[in-house]
Copies of this chain bind each other. A is one copy, B any other.
Amino acid sequence: VNLFWAIERMRKCAQRHREDIKKLEEEASRIHKEDEECCAKIGIVGEKLLEDEDSVLTHCNAGALATGGDGTALSIIYAAKKKGKKIKVYVDETRPLLQGARLTCFELLKRGIKPTLICDSLAPYLMKIGKIKKVIVGADRITRRGDVANKVGTYTLALSAKEHKIPFYVAAPSYSFDLSMEDGERIKIEERGKDEVKEFFGKKCCPEGVDVLNLAFDVTPASFVTAFVTECGIIYPPFEENIPSTLQ
């Protein structure tokens, strides 16, 4: 939802200034700078949730490669590290496009954090055997009552975290919340190309004739979320009250 929020800001700016390119450039730079500051704030707000020697799982990429700044989920990890906390980071590979393996691992290594990569399907079992203490993910869109649309697999982690009484945090800027949308039932889930699953770097990995269902996102119900970490503070349940009151 952030992209549409930014486009809307640019459109309003264009209307206001009769499409003056210089003004549009300034607005774009402002959005970028604000997003950077927002990410930094999310980190500062969220790092308090992590303890020294904590072990955290993240999914997909919620870092510098997906935002204007240091990211959302990863910004929290970076801020905790800056405070001197030692954090063990597990990264889901995030099939089919492997954003976890390719992007998140890359980012973490650049920041001096050696991640442990796992297959998506292992995460719930690692929660069961006590290897994962906290889950932090980003979000594509959050509804007014706290349902979360995010990269496919997020629902699995949230469900499993709840079962194992592990905190499940969603880190996102205020503009990822779509307060006009009541609940997650209405979110349309993008179905992406079948070849993303059938092929791997151009190599076929299943026989001809197989059908594929490749949903890009899933929706995690608010009841599975421990708290939202935003630049405006940490939002705990009841979300129906606390999301609008914190963000409006």
Contact = CB atoms under 8 A, between A and B. Distances in A.
Given A122-B152, A126-B213, A201 B203 contact: yes
Interface residues of A, number: 52
A156 to B, nearest CB: 4
Interface of A: 90-96, 98, 101-102, 105-106, 109, 114-126, 128, 131, 152-153, 155-156, 159-160, 163, 197-198, 200-201, 203, 205-207, 209-215, 218-219
A121 B121 contact: yes
Contact of A215 (B122, B152, B210): B122
B200 A201 contact: yes
Main secondary structure of the interface of A (DSSP, over half): mixed
Contacts of A91: 210
Contacts of A102: 205-207
A121 B122 contact: no
29 contacts: A92-B121, A93-B205, A93-B206, A94-B121, A95-B121, A96-B119, A101-B206, A101-B210, A109-B209, A109-B210, A114-B211, A116-B211, A116-B212, A117-B198, A118-B214, A119-B153, A120-B120, A120-B121, A121-B153, A125-B152, A125-B155, A125-B156, A125-B215, A128-B218, A156-B156, A163-B163, A200-B200, A201-B201, A201-B205
A200 B117 CA distance: 14
Given A93-B197, A95-B95, A101 B205 contact: yes
